[in-house]
Chain A
Amino acid sequence: MSRSDDLWGRLAALTPARIGLGRAGNGLPTREVLHFGLAHAEARDAVHAPMDAAAVAGAVEALGLRSVAVASRAPDRATYLRRPDHGRRLSEKGAAALAAAAGAPVDLALVVADGLSARAVHENAAGLVAAFLPYAEKAGWSLAPVVVAEQARVALGDAIGAALRARAVAVLIGERPGLSSPDSLGIYLTFDPKPGRSDAERNCISNVRAAGLPQTEAAFRLSWLLGQALARGLTGVNLKDESDRALEQAEAQVQLPADRNG
């Protein structure tokens, strides 16, 4: 089939999706089959790459924050993949480290967790924390030491938040790598964290990465959700993310006086 290069070149520039591939009979052309196979090979390799916890802690501390390193009860990647229950519980050593680090109650505990993509953490976590700090400062939110967690699932944040006496926990975690996005970070915000919280009690901001949701916008959304969560005492399906509208209103307010002056 002949494809209009002009049309599909223009459309393909609008999305990272694999569009305009053409066809050989009803199948994919050879080069697309090989592109796909290579991308899958790279994603498979990415799942198994370990997080550089020391480098992540160093980047967080460079922002003027303290950090604590913990691990889940999954001792290695193979166990982590088959036993999510181990990834949701703190190792004994990790629990002890948090007990030692816990101080007075705080508004928020930030957790940086490897999840299924260490690369996502390496490329996005410190920048996101840096973009979030001005919002925390402006709102006067108190922060626990940032926890860097290895072999961690989202729900490990519940145990961490409870141990640090935090009113809310935000888990910044590597999402499962896609073929086109081995570097995607997710943020899970949970009010009143404690073991046993369900996923319906969390708010999620997904796809934080260079080609996805920018770190600055993710930081704004997190601060908006946290403000709502602390004011209303909840997160989850009953807290709708209307940060878009807040953002639009903020922009409109900035523009209005300018229009009047002009």
Chain B
Amino acid sequence: MGYRHVVGQRTHAFADLATLMAKATPVRSGDRLAGIAAESAEENMAARWCLAEVPLAEILARPLIPYEADDVTRLILDGHDAGAFAEIAHLTVGDFRDFLLAASSETLARIAPGVTPEIAAAVSKIMRNQDLILVARKARVVTRFRNTIGLPGTLAARLQPNHPTDDPAGITASILDGLSYGCGDAVIGINPASDSLQALGKLLHLLDDVIRRLDIPTQGCVLTHITTTIEAMNRGWPVDLPFQSIAGTQAANASFGVTLPMLKEAREAALALKRGSLGDNVMYFETGQGSALSADAHHGIDQQTLEARAYAVARAYEPLLVNTVVGFIGPEYLYDGKEIIRAGLEDHFCGKLMGVPLGCDVCYTNHAEADQDDMDTLLTLLGAAGCTYIMGVPGADDIMLNYQSTSFHDALYVREVLGLRRAPEFEAWLARIGLADETGSLLPGDGGLRLLEAAPGLAA
């Protein structure tokens, strides 16, 4: 069924819901690359007017990718909570925006299981940046493994101590640096340069050793392919959080070499290890707009809607952490600072609306038209929006993945400006070890020396 909207003398026609949603999306390079973006500013706005009038029930009834053809669609529809949806079933997309602006945190938590990714994406397309911030701030998602992540007034940070050759001493040096700035409550997460099993084993033991010797209430993760992590668990190695990059279509996940049963298998294996002292959120996922198009697996659907579908995949496995790696994929998908900022806010909003603990790797590559000033802007906006966590990379320069993210200093900046605290168990540890005061502010003096007093052999 088609859609149409009249502007003055012109009638804008949209062949189907996927086309309408693509044309209504704030324009970005990835949708242009796919040949599905609005071709004029007027067409873009006509599509938004038209989309605002579409009933949510109609979006639910018209899957963008057929149920028979795609296991992510089946996951979305089979897991849909009709009871939670009943409260919003009578609304159009435009009504839903108004509803969200007025809704309480309790209401947002209640409807989350009834919000499909297509509904979240549709309403985001007619929202301004301030709407995305305001509603996301009210939608709280709390998860636990060895600490409590996502409480109101908090922002966590992943300590990302990557090294170009996975050198254990170099990685340990970066971990000590990050901890000395009070970073690492979300996870200490290494992207390995090697995908070999032996390298993975060494890094898993390194993380386990640091966390146990310093008695840090946090978790470790080596971000390698899920099948490799399953093999590591089979060998009895210390895995806290299985990791996987995921996308919003079955074919895109296949291009990552991952299937839904693999995710289930990894989660069950990690749960059986019982390594979380406070909770059972054991999975860590990363996503990013453009991954489906990059894998030629986008079905003519816009990249922001497909990104929201990836959160439906994540949601099914009750993750501890999910983050969009918003500017990592490159300028062919998000061209400049403006597109990256908008995408970061959309991704965070959609994840939170769906009940997913969304963080953001606020980042860009050197072939994008962006710089650290753009990252400061997005970081500040996400801090205001209640973002679950950000990355902490030494000096914002990831020397293994070759891109720029946020730094340990950036996390301190956003805490100071917005009054955001760390996960409470981690903050208590910082006070206990003498790195920070009871308000979470770093104490004067060299934190590195204090860490080495607590665990003398670490820098050996």
The residues of A with any CB-CB pair to B shorter than 8 Å are 1-4, 7-8, 10-12, 14-21, 23, 25-28, 32, 36-37, 39-40, 43-44, 46-47, 81-85, 116, 175-181, 184, 198-200, 203-204, 206-207, 211-213, 236-238, 240-245, 248
A206 touches B193 (CB 8 A): yes
A176 touches B254 (CB 8 A): no
B193 touches A7 (CB 8 A): no
A116 to B416: give the CA distance in the assembly, Å: 37
A242 touches B395 (CB 8 A): no
Nearest neighbor of B446 in chain A, beta-carbon distance: A4
B95 within 8 A of partner (CB): no
For B228, the chain A residues whose CB sits under 8 A away are: 240
A203 to B169: give the CA distance in the assembly, Å: 26
A21 to B392: give the CA distance in the assembly, Å: 14
The residues of B with any CB-CB pair to A shorter than 8 Å are 29, 33, 161-165, 167, 169-174, 176-177, 181, 193-199, 225, 227-228, 231, 254-257, 294-295, 330-332, 335, 365-367, 371-372, 394-404, 407, 409, 412-413, 415-416, 442, 444-446, 448-449, 452, 459
A82 touches B332 (CB 8 A): yes
A166 to B397: give the CA distance in the assembly, Å: 39
Partner of A241 from the list B161, B169, B196, B449 (CB cut-off 8 Å) is B196
A178 to B395: give the CA distance in the assembly, Å: 13
**Separation in Å of the A193 CB from the closest CB of chain B?**
16
Beyond contacts A36-B396, A82-B332, A200-B257: 11 other A-B pairs, Cβ-Cβ < 8 A, are: A4-B448, A15-B167, A15-B170, A17-B163, A26-B415, A39-B397, A46-B366, A84-B330, A180-B397, A198-B254, A200-B255
**Separation in Å of the A217 CB from the closest CB of chain B?**
9
B198 touches A40 (CB 8 A): no
Nearest neighbor of A11 in chain B, beta-carbon distance: B173
A230 to B459: give the CA distance in the assembly, Å: 43
A86 to B195: give the CA distance in the assembly, Å: 29
For A241, the chain B residues whose CB sits under 8 A away are: 194-196
**Separation in Å of the A231 CB from the closest CB of chain B?**
18
B227 touches A47 (CB 8 A): no
A28 to B237: give the CA distance in the assembly, Å: 38
B409 touches A26 (CB 8 A): yes
For the residues of B in contact with A, the DSSP-based class is mixed
In the complex where A198-B255, A244-B199 touch, is A26 in contact with B173 (Cβ < 8 A)?
no
Nearest neighbor of B196 in chain A, beta-carbon distance: A241
A199 touches B366 (CB 8 A): no
For A20, the chain B residues whose CB sits under 8 A away are: 177, 448
B332 touches A1 (CB 8 A): no
B257 touches A236 (CB 8 A): yes
A177 to B173: give the CA distance in the assembly, Å: 23
A40 to B369: give the CA distance in the assembly, Å: 12
Partner of A18 from the list B165, B394, B449 (CB cut-off 8 Å) is B394
For B257, the chain A residues whose CB sits under 8 A away are: 200, 236-238
B177 touches A237 (CB 8 A): no
Nearest neighbor of A32 in chain B, beta-carbon distance: B395
B367 touches A116 (CB 8 A): yes
Residue in A26, A44, A236 whose Cβ sees the most chain B Cβ within 10 Å: A26
For A83, the chain B residues whose CB sits under 8 A away are: 33, 332
**Separation in Å of the A195 CB from the closest CB of chain B?**
11
In the complex where A11-B177, A176-B366 touch, is A1 in contact with B446 (Cβ < 8 A)?
yes
A36 to B394: give the CA distance in the assembly, Å: 12
**Separation in Å of the A18 CB from the closest CB of chain B?**
3
For B173, the chain A residues whose CB sits under 8 A away are: 11-12, 14-15, 17, 19
Partner of A1 from the list B199, B399, B416, B445 (CB cut-off 8 Å) is B445
In the complex where A82-B33, A240-B196 touch, is A19 in contact with B177 (Cβ < 8 A)?
yes
**Separation in Å of the B415 CB from the closest CB of chain A?**
8
For B448, the chain A residues whose CB sits under 8 A away are: 3-4, 7-8, 11, 20
For B231, the chain A residues whose CB sits under 8 A away are: 240
A46 to B402: give the CA distance in the assembly, Å: 13
Nearest neighbor of A245 in chain B, beta-carbon distance: B198
**Separation in Å of the A253 CB from the closest CB of chain B?**
17
B164 touches A211 (CB 8 A): yes
A28 touches B367 (CB 8 A): no
A242 touches B196 (CB 8 A): yes
B196 touches A200 (CB 8 A): no
For A243, the chain B residues whose CB sits under 8 A away are: 196
For B177, the chain A residues whose CB sits under 8 A away are: 11, 17, 19-20
Residue in B172, B199, B227, B400 whose Cβ sees the most chain A Cβ within 10 Å: B400
A23 touches B412 (CB 8 A): yes
For A16, the chain B residues whose CB sits under 8 A away are: 164, 170, 399
